[in-house]
Amino acid sequence: MTGVLNRRKQREQRLKLCFLCFLLLSLPLLISAQTNSLTLDDLLQSAEQWANENLDDDALRVLKNADRQKIEQLFADIQKEFQGEYVIDLASIRTSAKAVLPLLERNEETLPYALWLKTRLDYLDVADELRIKIPPPKTKPGTPPKPIPNPPPQIERQIWIEKLSERPWPSTAKPYVSRLKPIFIAQKVPPELVWIAEVESSFDPRARSPAGAAGLFQLMPETAKRFGLRVRPFDQRLAPDDSALAAAKYLQYLHHHFNDWRLALAAYNAGEGTVQNLLNRHKAHTFDGIATCLPAETQMYVPKVEATLLRREGIRLNQLRSS
């Protein structure tokens, strides 16, 4: 009887082992298929198309039709103004953004978008302050009004320093700052730059943008894959350490290319091609030389990061030293 039981147990163990081997052999094929499918989607779809499909089919389905329409319109307006030419125009979406935020916070499915939007309300508030401070240009009677010109980068740096001068540490930062700094140091990136995560996500790894960026450092899928992360079947951008490693690698690459941290951060936000094309077009070599020509979001992003580092670490971007 004991021998029969032993043989039955051995057969069960062999079956389990065979099944485990089958899973291990099949898993790379499954991952490869999913990765190839995503890459094809990335090639065929723009960020806006991705956002529309993702929001329509996934997150926003939990909302009422009227709420969905408000949110979809806001995201479209944000994309337009963030990529637009004039910083002051961001003030035009301030009221609607604050009205939509509670709708996004109400549901678990839309909360990641609320976290993303909440960190960007600062841009809209600063744009509103600048709208009040900078007088509109004079125009001749009967001619259409001219847009308010972009403020010079020195003014933006100062207004961001004032805005963040008394802002306390976000509570969400405490588990991450000391933990992630060694990852940046290992990639020869100044550890102070971990505070980019406050600007990108307020140190909440759940944050997700309507254009597809995700995680503490808001990496786009293509950037994540470029620096060694998977986005399927598990999205490594949502893992803080993995997100920090890819962000540090990207920042190191950008700084090596531009040899300037302000330019590197502009490229982190707007893309290295955008920054390089502007440098070439204006025959410039510094951030200040192209600042007012960058997308509106980037004009806000770089001085906000700098003011954040000054508040948290007492250092400016032009004082950073690589390890």
Listed as ranges, residues in the chain with pLDDT below 50 are: 1-48, 50-51, 54, 56
Cite the DSSP H helix spans in 45-91. 47-57, 65-82
Q: Where exactly are the structural domains of the chain?
A: 56-134+150-319
In this structure, what is the dihedral angle of CA atoms 37, 30, 222, 87, given to the nearest 10 degrees?
Answer: 70
**What pLDDT does residue 295 have?**
98
**CA terminus-to-terminus distance, the chain:** 69
**Third-level CATH fold of 56-134+150-319:** Lysozyme (1.10.530)
Euclidean distance between CA atoms 114 and 117, whole angstroms: 5
CB 212 within 8 A of CB 47: yes
**What pLDDT does residue 44 have?**
32
**What pLDDT does residue 82 have?**
97
**What pLDDT does residue 52 have?**
53
In terms of Cβ atoms closer than 10 Å to its own Cβ (0-12, 13-18, 19+), residue 4 is exposed
**CA separation (Å) from 232 to 34, 108, 312, 321?**
7, 21, 34, 35
Say what the pTM is: 0.81
Euclidean distance between CA atoms 152 and 310, whole angstroms: 19
In terms of Cβ atoms closer than 10 Å to its own Cβ (0-12, 13-18, 19+), residue 307 is buried
